[in-house]
Amino acid sequence: MRVLLSGYYGYGNVGDEAVLESIVDGLRHQDPTLQITVLSASPQTTAQFYNVKAIGRYSWSVFIEMLKTDVFVSGGGTLFQNSTSNRSFWYYTGLLLLAKVLFKKTMIFAQGFGPIKGRFNRMIASLAIKRVNLITVRDAESKAGLVEIGIRPEKVNVTADPTFLLKNPSGLEGRKVLALEGVTTEKPLLGVSVRSLPRRQGIELQFYRMLAETLDSFVEKNNYQIVFLLLHCPEDMRETSKVINFMSRKSNVVFKICSPHEMLSVVSQCDFMIAMRLHALIFAVKSLVPAFGLSYDPKVKSFMNSVGSPCLTVDEVLDAARLEKAVEAQFAIREASKKMLEKVLVHLREKAQENFSLFFRTFK
């Protein structure tokens, strides 16, 4: 069986690369004979790293591969949204419509959904997704969003992000990365992951200033050292540098462009995590690291709600006293949080495995 896999792959975003790796591994684990082709921004790198056929996501070869494929999979991430750009929304929706025009079987694989702004965009999304053979989403809020645009509830399966099935690497790899970046193990580590604020003009500097004040206060009270993690390097460095410039306390940055396994290992060495990036939080949960979420997008709050961990939206973070109080409250119960995460993780792994069970039940 031929599978054509589309997503935000080949851009160096650790979260999306982790999704790709987990999907490829999960499919091959159940059927090593599958012929997998990936649409990528860096096809040579993708082919080398994951041992798949890869083609440029904007090349004319996409149409040829779509003709040859048996199943088109729109995999991982939050692809059907236009809060970041209309262009990406039309790209992913267009691929889905092309697959159906060519009478191909289709799957939306463990995605988040929305928000989609504009009546016409929502109508097109509904038209494309209604014809999908199998839909799995990673949270209940995404299912509710699909139902809102006219998708039948019974057609949408709530599972979990497939990266929960990745094997946890040894901590040695992470310690090596940290050592090369000059991060010592003399003090416990506070991992921090920030990113840009999409379409939030006017509040960015205030947001970064409030976060910096909270980080300074946290270090002073708890004697931690801060290490900034760039899950999309070098793009995240711009925002990271803004936070650092507002801080009075010293911090470190992991500049290395990490593979998913390297970043997962680095996260496992942290004792606490404050993050905007969804997969920084997912990696923390996988590693049983207590975490606090900063929600720039509904997907972050949805995930943190699903694992019973606290999260503040960008607007709420602008209240520095509220942010500091909420972070300290989560830090105070970090040991109890670890025990809760152990139970949550078992459930998330089971739900993540459902993506693959449903795939082979539907298409084999």
Shared domain check, 177 and 126: no
Q: Looking at 106, 137, 158, which one is the last position of a domain?
A: 158
- Res 17: pLDDT: 97
- Res 320: pLDDT: 86
Tell me the average pLDDT across 266-286.
Answer: 97
Shared domain check, 149 and 220: no
Q: Is the peptide bond before 188 cis (omega within 30 degrees of 0)?
A: no
Shared domain check, 321 and 294: yes
Residue 163 counted as domain residue: no
Q: Looking at 128, 158, 188, which one is the last position of a domain?
A: 158
Comparing C-alpha atoms, which of 227, 275, 273 is closest to residue 253? 227
Shared domain check, 18 and 124: yes
**Contact yes or no for 283/264 (Cβ under 8 A):** yes
Alpha-carbon separation of residue 336 from 76, 168, 288, 289, 331 (angstroms): 31, 22, 11, 11, 10
pLDDT above 90: residue 281: yes
**Burial readout 260-277 (b: 16 or more C-beta within 10 A, e: otherwise):** bbbbbbbbbbbbbbbbbb
Shared domain check, 149 and 218: no
Residue 353 counted as domain residue: no
Shared domain check, 246 and 312: yes
Shared domain check, 134 and 279: no
Shared domain check, 68 and 37: yes
- Res 114: pLDDT: 83
Structure confidence at residue 248 as a pLDDT band (50, 70, 90): very high
Q: If you search the block for the tokens 């801080």, which residue do you land on?
A: 247
**pLDDT tens string 78-100:** 888 887 778 889 999 999 999 99
Shared domain check, 310 and 225: yes
Percent pLDDT > 90 in the chain is 85
Residue 164 counted as domain residue: no
**pLDDT tens string 173-184:** 999 999 999 998
**Contact yes or no for 340/306 (Cβ under 8 A):** no
- Residue type at 244? I
Residue 364 counted as domain residue: no
Shared domain check, 120 and 255: no
Q: Looking at 123, 158, 193, which one is the last position of a domain?
A: 158
Residue 175 counted as domain residue: yes
Q: Which domain holds residue 54?
A: 2-158
pLDDT above 90: residue 270: yes
Structure confidence at residue 317 as a pLDDT band (50, 70, 90): confident
- Res 350: pLDDT: 97
State how many domains the chain has: 2
Shared domain check, 189 and 268: yes
Residue 68 counted as domain residue: yes
Helix (H, G, I), strand (E, B) or coil at 82: coil
**pLDDT tens string 106-163:** 999 999 998 888 889 899 999 999 999 999 999 999 999 999 999 999 999 999 999 9
CATH number at residue 262: 3.40.50.2000
Higher-confidence residue: 198 or 299?
A: 299
| Long-range pairs, 213-216, Cβ under 8 A, ≥24 | 213/246, 213/320, 213/324, 214/320, 214/323, 214/324, 214/327, 215/190, 215/243, 215/247, 215/249, 215/251, 215/274, 216/247, 216/248, 216/249
Q: Give the single-character DSSP code of 170.
A: P
**pLDDT tens string 192-233:** 999 998 766 678 899 999 999 999 999 999 999 999 999 999
Shared domain check, 197 and 323: yes
Structure confidence at residue 297 as a pLDDT band (50, 70, 90): confident
pLDDT above 80: residue 33: yes
Structure confidence at residue 61 as a pLDDT band (50, 70, 90): very high
- Res 199: pLDDT: 67
Residue 165 counted as domain residue: no
- HSE (side-chain half, CA atoms, 13 Å) at 302: 23
CATH number at residue 100: 3.40.50.11930
**pTM (2 d.p.):** 0.94
Residue 358 counted as domain residue: no
